[in-house]
Structure formats: structure tokens, C-alpha cells
Amino acid sequence: MADLPWLTIIGVGEDGVDGLSAATRAALEQAELVMGATRHLALLPGLRCEARAWPVPFAEGVPLLLAERGRRVVLLASGDPFWFGAGTSITRHLAREEWIAYPAPSSFALAAARLGWALQDTTCLGLHAAPFSQVRPRLAPGQHLLVTVRDGAAVSALADYLAGEGFGASMLHVLEALGGPRERVRSVRADALAWDDIAHPVCVGIEPAGEGAVLPLASGRPDGWFGSDGQLTKQPVRALTLSALAPRAGELLWDIGAGSGSIGIEWLLAHPANRAIAIEADPVRAERARANAARLGVDRLTVLPGRAPAVLPEGVPDAVFIGGGLSQALLEALWARLAAGARLVANAVTLESEALLALWHGIEGGSLLRIELADAVPLGTRQGWRSRYPVVQWSVTR
């Protein structure tokens, strides 16, 4: 153990000392300083070195830890530090040779073992500091979700959220202090939870049920999912637009003239690692886009107020959608910024915008598509077709 890095990250379970391996015991014996939450320090009585409680909020402790380089330091974390834990919040500041980690079973692993759920088929979310709406896209009958929350009051708030979304019939499995002497597992419907003695740390298993609407997985969600004043890329055109944008995991989208934010939101729903920046000049619409994103569990949508090209984000996007404000100046500005391989998709409904897209298509290539849709509407005692405004879509790879 003499060649240990200066920092050892140890995952601690609710069984405290009893759950430590030989390697973690040796690291603690060599430590000059042990840092961790007060709860974790209490699980390891008899430490023979300096013990220091980690501050709240968590981020304030990072510089304090980094200032201890050169000493033998042990950081205590919950369960598996790299499974919705503190691990990466620390190691992103360190070189790989500076640290070593010894995980314990995570709350998710213990909860799945208690409930008999296949962990690989279960959605796992850490909601200590995240909004409950992150569960919204995953609420569907027959699914299993495991979420960690801040405390007992948060469990009640989660139950209220589910009931408010029409999923009050969901079965909640409340799992407290898993793996330790205080462990307790209780089950109740979300709309019937009235306990006031739920103890931290707590994990909740959710079996969604009820009359709540289920968010489809396919691009082109129904328009009713998005609050709008009419400035909305409608469902069929949105589906074709997302198909042309072709989101890939971890990519960044610029959604220019975002309106309700539906394109950026669906881009984010395509993969949890995706990022999107919506540019919207109208402050009311910009706020509505934020609200739509939060409602659908993708509050990571960044909304940038202003009008492009006067306002464009820093950096380089992987894809750009122009849903409003199309102009020669905007296309020139974007073409100068985009890297090779970036995708650009622009939709036009006016003759002037169509002509501009046709011009750029002739110069830069790509695909030009005319989308013509009609809806069946009453026509006297029968039905007839009412045409929508046609949309011309130009898609190109730089």
C-alpha cells in the first residue's frame, strides 16, 4: 500500500466499518486526513487521524480538498462514488495517477436486490439537486425507476408530483438506510403516501401507473406537449426536421428562432448527453421555451435571448436548425462558423425564404425538400382536404 496516490476515494455503506475491505482499511490506517459528510464520518468511529466534515454546498469542499495535495487524504463518499456520486466532481480536477477509488455497493444495486428488479432494465436517476420532472419522459406503465432524493420531505414531494401528473396510482417503494442496521422498506401508492417519518438516506422505487399521458419515444411528439402561442414547428414537420438533423449522442444543437423550443427539446430527449442552445428574440417565447423544457424533464436547454446573427453562442455546434429569422446574413455567418461535418437544416414558408434556400442549395448542395400537408376537415355534411402552408426544407452537411 506504500505506493498509494495522495487521494483515496472510499465508498461507504450504511454498515460502516463492517463493510470495509482490507484495502480500504489499509488506506484509512495510512491517512493523515479523512474528509466526508458528517454522516459518513459517524459511520467510522475510532479514526486515528484528522477528520474534517465536508461543507455544504458540496462544491465548496473541492478547493479545500485540492489544497491538501501532498498529504495522505481519504475522501468518504456514498456507495459507488461513480454511480450518481461525488467521484467525477473530484477527479475531473486531478490527473489519473493522483487518485484511487474503492466503491461499495450503490444504493441502486441494493434497492434492485431488495425489490428483485433487473438493474440493467431499470431507469436510475439521482434527484438530490435535480427537478422531479426528470422522471417525466420515463413515466410509462410497466417500467421501473429507482431515484435517490435528498430526504424524507422530498419523497412526499415526489409523490405529489406524480399524482399531479396523473400517476397517483403508481406504487412507490421507499427504501431507507439500505445495507445498515436502520434499513427499512415500505410500499405505498403515490396518492396515499402520508408518512412523516421517512429517514435519510432514502431511495425510491417507482412503478408508474395511472391515467397520466405517456410521452412517445419517436421524434415528432404531439403538439399538445408544448405550450405555444402558435409559433411552433408542427408535429409532422418537426418529425422530418429531427430526422434531417439526425441527433447523435453528446452533440450540441443551435436552435435559431426557437419559438416554443420544441426542436431543441426533442433533440435533448433523443439522448441524455445531448446539449442544445435555443436562440429566441421574443422574451415571452424564450420563457415559454424554458418552461416547456422544464416540464418535459430537459431543463438543461439553454435559452439565449436575442436575434441571430447579431447573437450567436460561443463555440461550434454539431448541428443548427433555423426555424425563424432566416436571412442571407444569417446563412453567411453560420457558414463561416460551422466546422466540417456539421449539419444545417432550415425551414421556410415564405416565397422570399424559399428563394434564398434554393439559391444556397444551388451553391452548396445538400437536399431541398418541399413538404405539403393537408388535413381532413368538415365540408358541409362531408369531409374535405384543407391544405397547410407548404414548407421548404434545406438540409446540408458543411
**Mean pLDDT throughout 120-138?**
95
Q: Which amino acid is at 84?
A: F
What is residue 18's predicted lDDT score, i.e. its pLDDT? 85
Residue 189 has pLDDT above 80, yes or no: yes
pLDDT at 376: 96
Q: Grade residue 16 by pLDDT with cuts at 50, 70 and 90.
A: confident
Q: How far is CA 363 from CA 97, 318, 367, 371, 379, in A?
A: 52, 21, 12, 22, 44
Helix, strand, coil in percent for the chain, rounding step 5: 35, 25, 40
Q: Are 147 and 158 in contact (CB under 8 A)?
A: yes
Q: Which long-range contacts (CB under 8 A, 24 or more apart) does 149-152 make?
A: 149/202, 149/203, 149/204, 150/200, 151/198, 151/200, 151/202, 152/195, 152/196, 152/197, 152/198, 152/199, 152/200, 152/202
Cell numbers found for residue 24? 480500504
Amino acid identity of 164? G
Residue 285 falls in which region: left (phi positive, over 0), alpha (psi -120 to 50) or beta: alpha
**What gap in Å lies between CA 308 and CA 310, rounded to an integer?**
5
Give me the pLDDT at residue 382, please.
Answer: 96
pLDDT at residue 169 tops 70: yes
In 222-293, DSSP assigns E strands to 252-256, 275-280
Q: Domain 223-397, what architecture?
A: 3-Layer(aba) Sandwich (3.40)
Pairwise CA distance, residues 229 & 259, whole Å: 9
Q: What is the mean pLDDT of the chain?
A: 95
360/367 Cα distance (integer angstroms): 11
* pLDDT surpassing 70 at residue 2: no
Q: Is pLDDT of 3 > 80?
A: no
pLDDT at 346: 98
Distance, CA of 90 to chain centre: 20
- Percent of the chain predicted with pLDDT > 90: 93
Mean pLDDT of 108-135: 96
More confident residue, 275 or 48: 275
Dist CA 295 CA 224 (whole Å): 12
Q: What is the pLDDT of residues 332-375, one digit of tens each?
A: 999 999 999 999 999 999 999 999 999 999 999 999 999 999 99
pTM for the whole structure: 0.91
Q: Is the pLDDT score of 1 beyond 70? A: no
What does the pLDDT look like over 276-335, one tens digit per residue?
999 999 999 999 999 999 999 999 999 999 999 999 999 999 999 999 999 999 999 999
Contacts of 315 (CB under 8 A, 6+ apart): 252
Considering the chain, what percentage of its residues have pLDDT values greater than 70? 99
Yes or no: domain 7-104 corresponds to CATH 3.40.1010.10: yes
CATH of 108-207, one of 3.30.950.10, 3.40.605.10, 3.40.470.10, 3.40.50.1820: 3.30.950.10
For the chain, the domains span: 7-104, 108-207, 223-397
**Nine cell digits for residue 220:** 415528432
